[in-house]
Chains A and B, each alone.
Chain A
Amino acid sequence: MSSVAQKKGFGATLWDWLTTVDHKKIGILYFLGGGFFFVLGGIEAMLIRWQLHIPNNDFVSAGLFNDLITMHGTTMIFLAAMPILFGFMNAIMPLQIGARDVAFPFINSLGFWMFFFGGLFLNISWLFGEVPDAGWTSYASLSLASEGHGVDFYAIGLQIAGGGTLMAGINFLVTIINMRAPGMTYMRMPLFTWTTFVASAMILFAFPPLTVGLFFLTFDRMFGGNFFNHEMGGNTIIWEHIFWIFGHPEVYILILPAFGIFSEIFSIFSRKRLFGYPSMVFATVLIGFLGFMVWAHHMFTVGLGPTANAIFAVATMAIAVPTGVKIFNWLLTMWGGSIVVTTPMLYALGFIPSFVMGGVTGIMQGAAPLDYQLHDTYFIVAHFHYVIVGGVVLAILAATHLYWPKMFGTMLNETLGKVTFWFFFIGFHMTFLIQHWLGFWGMPRRVWTYMDGQGWNLANLISTVGAFLMAIGVIVLVYNAIVTSIKNVKVANDPWGDGRTLEWAIESPPIYYNFSATPLVRGLDSVWIEKMEGNESGLTPAEPIKDIHMPNGSIIPLLMSFGLFIAGFGAMFRTEESWGLPLLIFGLLWTFVSMAARSLQDDTGYYIKKEEILRDLKRKGGQN
């Protein structure tokens, strides 16, 4: 457990990672798992763009194309963007509030393994050759008509991964509510912690509808249910409502942490307190709240009637106000500051114009009658990529550079980082800017090919070239990560020099119990305050050094998740294979027994003795 035990064999190291409940390690697991799926989803995107680079292309078949778009969307949202953000939340948020761990270390681990096995389940569909093909939205009439097991993989895989997400959300919420250091009031929490908090609250209320929707889909496809079968009295519009009641908040679950990351970056690299902190917090909460009121703007063309459309149109536009407040507060944070353009700052600077463009096209689509034209065209494809790539992915890349030293103890190369940025940024705008016009020119989305002579050829070619530039950027990043990890030049507590929050006052990476003594927080940007007052360490302890209670590692989360993974196959093959039903029962039983084992074990953790902490402190030269 202790950091002294460096010379462990491979088996012991592996076991350590499989059983870890340390939030920093789970953060890294999330980051790596999400990164893997990000690359997978990226490859799918490249195949999509290659298919569309010329008219009438036959690089992939129509069916395979639908597999690719479905898996690209599902993978990027559920298995890449969210887990990577969870990675940062896990690794950084507890440090920001001065906590030693999250509230439920065991459930934290369980959440990760459920995400991992859910993602694995979803992607194993490629090996079966029966891949989800009804779009990431899987609208009911098509998802019921879809042949083979493709959509079954979607329903069960997302169910497992979604359960993990829900646990992670509750865990972060309780951590922030209960485990803040003395003095860390709500209105002193760093913005990344605040956005984690609001995003987690949104997860808590948005994921249960998805759970229910996926159960309906599972029942309809595998257990003879009739929720969406209109010949049996069902209704497909129910799926659309349920999906978007989940789906719209989901977008904000992704973008809010991105806002938080950029808030940190603007503040650090402008060497200035975040402008209008209270209104930033208020705007975050308001966006979270409004996020639940606007789902039907995804359904303007469904035929809900003018009254519903008008209400949801106006509600949608209202979200522009708090979002605008945020943009201007970031600008004013820079204004009068001392701006240094590091790689993370470069991403933040690129984010402002990109995200504003994504935001305003969102409002255009909020105007319902105009949306009748734009809905389900390449315009919407351009819009949500501007928001998600221009917002979330830029934030993820920025945070990767920003927090890399805190997570791995070494810096990424700045020059390579900037190379990545420019490839990615130029490629991004090249890919998606032109797609707005493709939408205007009448190109529907999700088309696997298009005829010559409709005026779309050049724009599609430009878009494809842009996509490949983005891919080059990502390859440079991976190269950067590998090379700097091999060199492994150790860095100090605050490698960026202007860290303002608690995580920058402790080691990179932090020791497994984070803080030798719980810190006392005396204001917003507490480390900055301490340093300005001449306290070089940036920390004031709130209590003397004493024994620390720590949780034990456990393999049970992995086992429980694996049981669900097995049960998924059982459910899927229940009717056609004799082993289906036994496998389903076996998997569920496996999970239940693992759970009972946990419950009967009375695992109450262990204590790190005061002497050991003092020893560690001495080794570090008295630093925290």
Chain B
Amino acid sequence: MMKGLKKWRLFSLLAVLTVFLAGCGQEELSTLLPAGQVGRDQFNLLLLSSGIMLLVIIVVVAIFLVALVRFRRSKLGEDHIPEQVEGSHKLELVWTIIPILLILLLAVPTVYYTYKLGDVSAMGAVDEDGNAENLVVDVTAKLYWWEFEYPDLGIVTAQELVVPMDEKVYFNLIAADVKHSFWIPAVGGKLDTNVENVNKFYLVFEKDSKDLKDGVFYGKCAELCGPSHALMDFKVKTMPRAEFDRWVTAMQASADNQVVANPEGQALFQQSCIGCHAVSGVGESGAQGPNLATFGDRNRVAGFMDHTKEDLIEWIKYPQEYKPGNKMPDFDGKLSDKELDAIAEYLMGLSVE
């Protein structure tokens, strides 16, 4: 395999050049700046394939241009009758065999990576004490938000996935209503969340999200799922394992020791919101609305609005306007401005970090 890799890297140089000239996009969501093994494998395949393809394009365009310049009627004269060539078996054989070879060159790594990236056999592995060896996250896609449950850790969160770096993180994916697709462009390719079966795959996160512009990677829904498909974003926080373990501990304790930034807001929340939104990170998936235990730590309101108190109040008042078709009713008129302010302050204070 390694020999092959070296060979086609030469090919890829040209491709790399083009891609770089045109820009690589932004670190937090570009597939051209892969931040993990899966994304990098796919990126390598991209370089290989675009290298081959560029070669093909160059050959075709070269013949094309030469033919176009050399054989113009304006040069040859109006009455020129070209020889009516029937074909050439030799030539036709050449341009049948060469493409087959080029395709084999691409097909071998394709098959290799297909199996490599599809390998989830280690998912259920347990050590001697019966503890899971690998981190598994159950992802449930809902209209239009994401729920992340860590079944072996007993915690659940939403909208912002938190994962440790430099290890395989396994995902169970399913949709609760209509089909969605789970995609973190910078880290690796997508996998659909079907309604009737669980899809499994893994990703590896190799870059600390702290160093990014917003401190998070961007995640997207990639399958049309209704009016607010475009707004079904989530964010990903990556951190070293030790830090992640601390976060998990804090989450597991979030049921008991919670900072309450605004007691009045808390009381109102208990009346109006608790039916759908939990504020404890302990639990399982299946909630009506996103879990808000880490709301203060998050980067966006509703996945896409600025993380400010003003935007949060706007959102609570008019969720249907901002994200049409989602399941949260408008609270405009049901809560006074003062009450909204209190709730917002309370929510912005929810933190485990």
Contact = CB atoms under 8 A, between A and B. Distances in A.
B49 A335 contact: no
Given A277-B87, A334-B68, A62 B325 contact: yes
Given A317-B106, A317-B107, A450-B230, A270 B99 contact: no
B26 A372 contact: no
A477 B118 CA distance: 50
Interface residues of B, number: 95
A463 interface: no
A537 interface: no
B118 A447 contact: no
* Majority secondary structure of chain B interface residues (helix, strand, loop or mixed): mixed
Given A272-B84, A338-B82, A451-B304, A141 B49 contact: no
A338 B68 CA distance: 10
Most buried by A among B29, B81, B88, B226: B226
A336 B82 contact: yes
Interface residues of A, number: 90
Interface string A69-99: 0000000000000000000000000000000
Interface string A300-322: 01110110011001100110110
A337 interface: yes
Contact of B227 (A270, A364, A448): A448
Contacts of A313: 107, 110-111, 114
B179 A139 contact: yes
B164 interface: no
Given A236-B196, A440-B30, A62 B106 contact: no
B229 interface: yes
Interface in B84-102: 84-88, 91-92, 95-96, 99-100
Contacts of B96: 321, 324-325
Interface in A376-398: 376-377
Contacts of B23: 437, 455
Nearest to B102: A320
A542 interface: no
Contact of B41 (A139, A339, A369, A441): A369
B324 to A, nearest CB: 5
Nearest to B191: A301
Interface in B168-227: 175, 177-179, 181, 183, 185-186, 188-192, 194-197, 199-200, 218, 220-227
A447 B230 contact: yes
Contact of B95 (A328, A367, A372): A328
Given A139-B224, A364-B46, A356 B57 contact: yes
Interface in B48-73: 49-50, 53, 56-57, 60-61, 63-64, 67-68, 71-73
Interface string A226-268: 0000100001110000000000000000000000000000000
27 contacts: A141-B178, A141-B179, A146-B226, A236-B194, A237-B194, A237-B197, A271-B80, A275-B85, A279-B92, A301-B222, A303-B194, A310-B110, A317-B103, A318-B103, A320-B103, A324-B99, A338-B71, A349-B64, A360-B56, A369-B42, A372-B117, A437-B25, A440-B25, A442-B25, A442-B26, A445-B224, A447-B230
Q: List 4 tightest A-B contacts by C-beta distance, closest first.
A: A372-B189, A306-B118, A441-B25, A447-B230
Interface of B: 19, 22-26, 29-32, 39, 41-42, 45-46, 49-50, 53, 56-57, 60-61, 63-64, 67-68, 71-74, 76, 80-88, 91-92, 95-96, 99-100, 103, 106-107, 109-111, 113-119, 175, 177-179, 181, 183, 185-186, 188-192, 194-197, 199-200, 218, 220-231, 233, 304, 324-325
